[in-house]
Structure 1
């Protein structure tokens, strides 16, 4: 039960990131590039302080940092710049589709073949996500945005897989954020990201970076060793659904039959994937 509750809390933190990002960007409080950089900065400062307060040190020169920080930078840059040209729903589908494919592919290649039940559950859950998020009318996909979001998906999948071997979740996450900060800022600057932010936008970015990203990612790293890679990939399909429900409850967005039916498919697929067969 403890693992279930911690995993639910982590997915809620991930979904809260989407809500905070939308609140800042759609209200004109921040552009995506500024939000991303301040988000990483706030996470780095918060985690570094927490590690320092408990007498620890950030393992900046660990061999894991090449993968962890590099993957985090790839995710942040791809995610922030892709949404400049992609519809939010389609972007989420590309992101989580690539995360699924990458994580299932890597685990299969390393000999940890997912069970048929897990594959079926992941397929049902992703089908429900497609049903909820697929844009209405003519779908126009910007190829550059799609590639950037696909790279973000690869980055997040690699970041998740790297977390399974992190010995100290808090210190490892903090080190990832610190190393990723200059890389993320430089990459967004090279890609032509704009810079602008109001005090409210800055506050939302700091909240996202310090709490729902920094602490949320540290919590994710702490639960990952207890989850199989296929289960870790599948439960993340709940994040867009939680974000949409949060938008309904907190932002006054409407709920319809499509959302309700799709949510049932997503949650049912996740339940199938994470369930364990008991001997009869």
Structure 2
């Protein structure tokens, strides 16, 4: 698969968003709503500076559904993690994304090979083993619902990306349409911000979200939708690896084995090079 390196970079960008979020909230003392709002604003500004001055940028059609999906994802994600454990939240998010996107793949008429189904099942099983809450932890129904809504919003945003003719401009406009929402979040959220937290949110918005999502839209027009679904199951283990590196978390044998299981499943689902006839 010639696009595999770009797909890997995109998954690392998605995982970096999670790490930056945790660094801002857990270490820098920023609130999740403020982080999300600054993430949107910085992404909108950075992408607008990149995309809109280009001669071929098409500004005539506004991607309202793309922005709706992205906004639901951002809001749901922010509110869910006010109460949800990180592992449980990731499991709900990526499990729901997986189910929604595979159902969309079937509805689109895509014929999924057996290896993709098996790979998805193996990867999901590895994630469940890694992320399942320990000690009978209680999960807030309201916050779990927020995370399910976030997953469905992301699935909508991803679905609309299949037909984006200009990935950079479409991504920029999606962020720009969310600027009023971000301003309202800043005005009403008031859950705290620090200088370090703001810098982390700007990095997340401009680089790992803005450019990462534009690259995602570029890929979606070129890979099967079901491959896009399964590939995202690698994001939580990459994010945990980032936590080991940047947050000083301890590595465990369970993480090593679960990572091997997840990545094996993802590798099974991604088509290899076709043999010449």
Q: TM-score range by the shorter chain?
A: over 0.9
Question: Which runs of 5 or more residues in structure 1 are unaligned?
Answer: none
Q: What is the CA distance between 1:239 and its match in structure 2?
A: 0.7
1:149-228 superposed matches below 5 A:
149-186=147-184, 188=185, 193-228=189-224
Q: From 220, 224, 229, give the equivalent of 2:225.
A: 229
Give CA deviations for 1:104-149 in whole Å, capped at 9, x if unaligned. 1112123224222111100100111111111211121100001000
Give CA deviations for 1:18-47 in whole Å, capped at 9, x if unaligned. 111101000243100000000000000000
Q: From 222, 238, 242, give the equivalent of 1:242.
A: 238
Contact 2:37 2:186 in 1 (8 A): no
1:1-280 superposed matches below 5 A:
2-57=2-57, 59=59, 61-62=61-62, 65-186=63-184, 188=185, 193-276=189-272
DSSP-derived class of the 1:30 partner: coil
Give CA deviations for 1:243-264 in whole Å, capped at 9, x if unaligned. 1111112222111110011001
Contact 1:104 1:114 in 2 (8 A): no
Q: What is the CA distance between 1:277 and its match in structure 2?
A: 8.7
Cα distance in 2, alignment partners of residues 129 and 92 from structure 1: 9
Question: Considering only aligned residues, what root-mean-square deviation do their CA atoms show, in Å?
Answer: 2.0
Deviation beyond 4 Å, 4+ runs, structure 1: 276-280
Cα distance in 2, alignment partners of residues 60 and 175 from structure 1: 11
The total of aligned residue pairs comes to 276
Cα distance in 1, alignment partners of residues 91 and 100 from structure 2: 14
Cα distance in 1, alignment partners of residues 224 and 218 from structure 2: 13
Give CA deviations for 1:58-108 in whole Å, capped at 9, x if unaligned. 63643xx12210000000000000000100100000000110111111121
Cα distance in 1, alignment partners of residues 45 and 57 from structure 2: 13
Q: What is the CA distance between 1:8 and its match in structure 2?
A: 0.6
Question: Which runs of 5 or more residues in structure 2 are unaligned?
Answer: none
